[in-house]
Amino acid sequence: MAAKAGGPMQKGVGKLPDRALFLFSLLIYAFLYAPILVLMFFSFNSSKSTQSWTGFSTEWYRALLTDQTIHDAFRTSMIVGVTATLIATAIGTLTALALTRHNFRGQTFADSTIYAATVMPEIVVGVSLLVFFVAVFLPLGVELGIVTIVIAHVAFTVSFVTIVVRARLAGMDESLEEAAQDLGAGPVTTFVRVTLPLILPGVMAGALLAFTLSFDDFVITFFVSGVGSSTLPLKIYSMIKFGVTPVINALSTVVLVVTMILIFGGSRLLSRREGA
């Protein structure tokens, strides 16, 4: 006798696609995160081998704490990342406001330029910025260094901030700004007291994205950095030239943990502000 529609056999067949999709998702996550877990695992290896486990040790983390060159590279990355993030967030937020709240000649071109900057190959951006700095900055006596790195990072992160903040502005009720202006608030007061608090989650998300992109950028920084201005990615690259050591594993683990803490803390803060 044929199974009735909706019977146990049909329900069991209906679950097969869900199970297959679940297993496929597990394989994708394993493909993405298994190498990272292996890296973290061997950062606690007692020997220099990155292929065989010989015992648990925190020796490489102690070596990381005493390596002054890594400390200098990390300090440079933090200076560049924080400075570029502050500048890019300010410019990107104002750009998003201009593109969302006003109509002007050339707006379509400005929109296209913003989105084009996010998909442009980094090597093209790096070479073009290097040519620009050599042609304009060097005659003025400005050498390649932290200043040129900051300018380059602002140039490629401001578009991401603009897109994120603009998405937040698109879901905002403009009548709130109009009500504030009807009550006598000027443009600056309206922005500070009404607009900015409402779009602050988007601004913070854009800032976090800009800092992450700046902190871990290698290609563009490689072209525009000078002597004595190596960031952490450039330092890691120079260390890998002599072979992968557990110190690199330890450094990568620390960066990964700090990044996860920032992402988790930022998401919790944004969710609390959304629920307030």
Q: Is the dihedral of CA 63, 69, 75, 78 positive or negative?
A: negative
Residue extents of the structural domains in the chain: 69-275
Q: What does R_g of the chain's alpha carbons equal in angstroms?
A: 25
Each of the 276 residues of the chain gets a pLDDT tens digit; together they read: 454 555 555 555 556 677 888 888 899 988 988 888 888 888 888 877 767 777 888 888 888 888 888 888 888 999 999 999 999 999 999 998 888 877 778 778 888 888 888 888 889 999 999 999 999 888 888 888 899 999 999 999 999 999 989 888 887 777 777 787 767 777 778 777 777 888 888 888 889 889 888 988 889 999 998 887 888 888 888 877 776 678 888 888 888 887 788 777 766 766 665 555
Could you confirm whether domain 69-275 is CATH 1.10.3720.10? yes
Distance, CA of 252 to CA of 31 (rounded, Å): 18
pTM: 0.79
DSSP 142: -
Three-state secondary-structure class, residue 64: helix
Angle value at C-alpha 71, between 66 and 76, nearest 5 degrees: 175
